[in-house]
């Protein structure tokens, strides 16, 4: 780690209206960067919330999540990226 601000390898975007707040992604996240919101969404769920840092873009939360589009995982485009098949 350097003190210089670096981009995280990944970013997580939660779609508030789709997420039902089951918490499976919170449990699944290897780096524990997901939490549950204190607020209820429009449909009465306390949805998942990206804590804003440390996402590695591994995608495990996405595969665990039962809703098709509740989570979107972004990954930093780098020239050193190793693609794991």
Interface ranges with other proteins (CB under 8 A): 7, 10-11, 13, 15, 17-18, 20-24, 26-28, 30, 43, 45, 57, 59-60, 62-77
Tell me if 59 sits within 8 A of 71, measured CB to CB: no
* Separation CA 3–CA 19 (nearest Å): 35
Supply the minimum distance, in Å, between the C-beta of residue 74 and other proteins: 4
Supply the minimum distance, in Å, between the C-beta of residue 56 and other proteins: 10
By C-beta, is 2 or 6 nearer to other proteins? Answer: 6
Strand partners, 50: 34
Which residue reads 């009465």 in tokens? 44
């Amino acid at each position: 780690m350097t003190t210089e601000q670096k981009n995280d390898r990944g970013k997580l975007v939660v779609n508030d209206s789709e997420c039902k707040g089951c918490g499976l992604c919170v449990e699944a996240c290897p780096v524990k960067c997901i939490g549950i919101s204190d607020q209820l969404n429009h449909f009465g769920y306390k949805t998942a919330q990206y804590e804003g840092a440390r996402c590695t873009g591994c995608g495990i939360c996405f595969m665990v999540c039962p809703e098709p589009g509740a989570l979107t995982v972004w990954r930093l485009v780098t020239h050193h990226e190793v693609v794991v098949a």
